[in-house]
Structure 1
Amino acid sequence: MSKTMEPDLHEPSAGISRQGSSQNEWKHPSDHWMRGFILDNRASLGTLGVFVVMMAVFMIANPTVFTTWYLYSAVLTTLPVALFVVVPLVFVVTCGEIDLSFPATMGFASWVFALVVQAGYDPFLGIAAALVTGTLLGFLVGSLVVYGGLSSLIATLGMNFLLRGLIQIINEGRSTSLTSLADSWAYRIFSSQVLGVPVQIFWAIAFVVLSAMLYNRHRFGAQVKVVGDNPDSAQQMGIDVKRVRVKVFVFVGIGAAIAGTFSVMINFTWWPTAGDGYLLPVLASVFVGGTPTWGGIGTVAGGAIGAVTVSFIQTGVVAAGLSGFYVQFFNGLIIILSLLGHKWNQARYR
């Protein structure tokens, strides 16, 4: 009786099924983790793929230039300025808004920094003043949009013109030279070089990492996504929708202030047009990075990679032997191809 109840271990099918089962159980955790990582980061990985292909083309076109460190050092010197603005804009776009006032905020906050340093005060005090200025301007812009009920597109575009006009009226186009920054501790800490590598890139990387943790691991990041996806549902969940929307604009103001301050420390000069040239490249970086326009989802890492991609386009086109007239063409080409790739790769789109 007991003998008939024992499984037939000599039956081939039984042995095969056990062996297959054990192999599947052993491979499953690794396969599951890899598949989950790719699905969760497909937008960032897609942007990285575009960057790798682009750099490969540039490398083939002119290997001599693209195998020298000077090219990469030049890009890494100015890239942090864009990163400090691109990352906060990912939060704004995820929240279902847009902010076009950041170039003027960069100029205004860096102007305050230049005034403090020019007056003979410590540059660290100037940095603090710039951050306060950026925070207040971000709060002002956010209040106009959220509590004033204005369209974020129109309101922020209007604020960009208003602040820039105010800067030009007061300064009458005059720049401010700050050569004393070269001997300051602020310059050594934030804008010098270590072994030929610009220090500001390390600060930018730290900013990106902390922002990514805030976006993916913190309650604020979760609230931003919920508000961008469905404000009514967020309100019913107990989230203060208006406060969250204002906070993302404040974050952009802080990032713009940091970017403007770094741009002044890089050039030792403040210009009334500071920040003007970053409007289109920064917006392109956000969307190339895989953050869609409809809100609810986004990627900080993808935005950072998008900023790197856009920063290398101009340098790469010229270094490849083409004239500067090709820069806009390649900017448009990369943007369109990236958006098409993200649309095809995105699990959820409207």
Structure 2
Amino acid sequence: MPQSLDAAHPVPPPAPAAAMLKALFRRSEIPLLISLLVVIAFFSIASDTFLTTRNIANVLGQSALAMTAGIGVAIVFISGEVDVSVGSLVAAVAIPLIVVMNATESLFLGIAAALALGLVVGAVNGYLSAYLGINSLIVTLGTLFILRGGVYLYTGQTAIPDEAMLESFFQIGNGRLLGLLPYPALIAFVLLLAFAYVMRHRPFGRQVYAVGGNPEVARLAGYSVKRVKFACFIISGLLATVAGIMLASRLGSAVHVAGLGFEFQVVAAVVLGGVSLSGGIGSLFGMALGVLILSFLSNGLGMLALATEWQLVVTGGIIIAAVAFDEFKRRRI
């Protein structure tokens, strides 16, 4: 019997390099990385001062706060919940931080007080959302207003200055490694690598993805859905506290308007970074790229002297496009 043409001339398997490239482009981070490079390239051509060591370092330092808090918010989103309280928490934790440092002249005690408040807020959000079953958007929105109102009441809408003037505290938000890389950026990158490893290679990370993807299946697999979600809110509260400490160090005081609108910046970066609003999908590296895209975009538009209101319009358009793309992907799955 004569052989078929296909049998006589079998189709060769794809080359390893081509297969690797195809698999690489399936990753959601690659389009984000390309978008970031396009943004940087565009503003480098449009402005002579954009692609300078000083400006890049400044952008990395400024984006560190959103990246740090964004790690926690992304983890909460992946678990299938929402946390929009981080902006007010950033302002609130600065109060015990500065007050305790002023009274004791101890950076350790000040940071401990700030972390204690962040832990309590994260625990309250987690308990109400995970264990009592109240919608997490409503819970964290309420927390946002309670914390902001509490900050206004305590401060009398007047900044509380850092009277201890500890050099170690100043360096947290203003120091630079080798005079180049801002310490906040270094802290954010270390936290990003640590939590990315946990989310991809440790049991807790796999549980978060499972719970966010399908809580009932996760429960049948033996995972404690409530406990996992509770832990995610704790992580978000603590990481927002770290961002608040860095911001207080940079400002040198506890300011009542600190972090105003910060939650929208973080959520925008998380969604732009490919973290699904429906849970179970997304990566922390994608979130980090989303933060960098928005940070470089804002910096570049500012250098081109684009009015602030137009910058907000552009950012809002990007958020809507990212959410629409997320919904499109979810419906195709």
How many angstroms does 1:170 deviate by?
2.0
Match of 1:269 in 2: 253
**1:291 and 1:299 in contact (8 A); partners too:** yes
Give 3-state SS (helix, strand or coil) of 1:66's partner.
Answer: coil
Please state how far the C-alpha of 1:340 moved relative to its aligned partner.
Answer: 5.3
Aligned AA for 2:299? T
| Kept in 1: contact 2:272–2:290 (CA 8 A) | yes
- Give deviations 1:134-173, integer Å, cap 9, x for gaps: 1121011111112222111111101111121122112211
Closer, same or farther in 2 for the Cα pair 1:49/1:335, shift >3 Å?
Answer: farther
Moved more, 94-103 or 333-342: 333-342
Partner of 1:101: 85
Shift of 1:184: 2.5
Partner of 2:25: 38
* Residue 129 (structure 1) aligns with: 113
Residue 222 of structure 1: which of 206, 216, 220 is its match? 206
Report what 1:10 is aligned to.
Answer: none
Q: Cα distance, 1:17 vs. partner?
A: 7.3
1:60-115 deviations in Å (ceiling 9; x for gaps)? 322x1213333223222221111111111111111111011112222222211111
Distance in 2 (alpha carbons) for counterparts of 1:58 and 1:190:
27
Aligned to 2:45: 60
Residue of structure 2 equivalent to 1:92: 76
Q: Conserved in 2, the CA contact under 8 Å of 1:314 and 1:324?
A: no
Q: In the comparison of the two structures, how many residue pairs are matched?
A: 326
Percent identical pairs in the alignment equals: 27
Matched residue SS, 2:49: helix
Q: Give the one of 335, 341, 345 matched to 2:319.
A: 335
Give me the CA root mean square deviation: 2.4
* Distance in 2 separating the partners of 1:233 and 1:318: 47
Secondary structure of residue in 1 paired with 2:54: helix
Structure 1 residue 337, shift from structure 2 partner: 4.2
- Higher-Rg member (1/2): 1
| 2: CA distance, partners of 1:267 / 1:349 | 46
- Residue 192 (str. 1) matches residue 179 (str. 2): no
- What whole-Å deviation, never above 9, does each CA across 1:107-134 have from its counterpart, x for those lacking one? 2222111111111331122112212221
Task: Give the drift of 1:333.
Answer: 3.1
Q: Once structures 1 and 2 are overlaid, which stretch shifts more, 139-148 or 72-81?
A: 72-81
1:186 is displaced (CA, Å) by 4.1
Q: Residue 99 of structure 2 is aligned with which of 92, 115, 122? A: 115
- Following the alignment from structure 1 to structure 2, what is the Cα–Cα distance between the partners of residues 301 and 211? 10
Alignment partner for residue 36 of structure 2, among 35, 43, 51? 51
Change (3 A) 1:190 1:278: closer
Offset of residue 36 of structure 1: 3.3
Separation in 2 of the partners of 1:349 and 1:247? 31
Structure 1 unpaired stretches of 5+? 1-12
1:31, CA displacement in angstroms?
4.4
Shift of 1:32: 4.2
Q: Which runs of 5+ in 2 are unaligned?
A: none
Deviation at 1:187, TM superposition (A): 3.6
Aligned amino acid, residue 168 of structure 2: W
- Give the conservation status (yes or no) of the 8 Å contact 1:99–1:153: yes
Q: Give the whole-Å Cα distance in 2 for the aligned partners of 1:179 and 1:44.
A: 44
The equivalent position to 2:151 in structure 1, one of 141, 148, 167, is: 167
Which position in structure 1 is the counterpart of 2:270? 286
**C-alpha separation between the residues in 1 aligned to 2:142 and 2:207?**
28
Matches of 2:319 and 2:146, distance apart in 1: 29
Among 302, 306, 311, which residue is 2:295 paired with? 311
Post-superposition offset of 1:343: 6.1
Alignment partners' CA distance in 1, 2:172 and 2:247: 14
- Offset of residue 223 of structure 1: 0.5
Contact 1:317 1:326 in 2 (8 A): no
Sort the Cα spacing of 1:46 and 1:239 in 2 relative to 1 into closer, same or farther, 3 A. Answer: same
Work out the CA distance in 1 between the residues paired with 2:304 and 2:268.
Answer: 22
2:86 partner letter: F
**Corresponding residue for residue 3 of structure 1:** none
Q: Which moved more, 1:100-109 or 1:186-195?
A: 186-195
AA matched with 2:23: G
CA contact under 8 A between 1:81 and 1:259: conserved in structure 2? yes
CA distance in structure 1 between the partners assigned to 2:127 and 2:214 by the alignment: 20
SS at match of 2:292: helix
2:60 corresponds to which residue?
76
Once residues 256 and 102 of structure 2 are traced to their aligned partners in structure 1, the CA distance between those partners, rounded to angstroms, is 15
TM-score if structure 2 supplies the norm length?
0.89
Alignment partners' CA distance in 2, 1:223 and 1:275: 31
Is residue 83–residue 307 contact of structure 1 (8 Å, CA) maintained in 2? yes
Amino acid across the alignment from 2:25: I
Cα 1:349–1:243, aligned 2, differ >3 Å: closer, same or farther? farther
Post-superposition CA distance 1:288-310 (Å, at most 9, x none): 00111111111100101111111
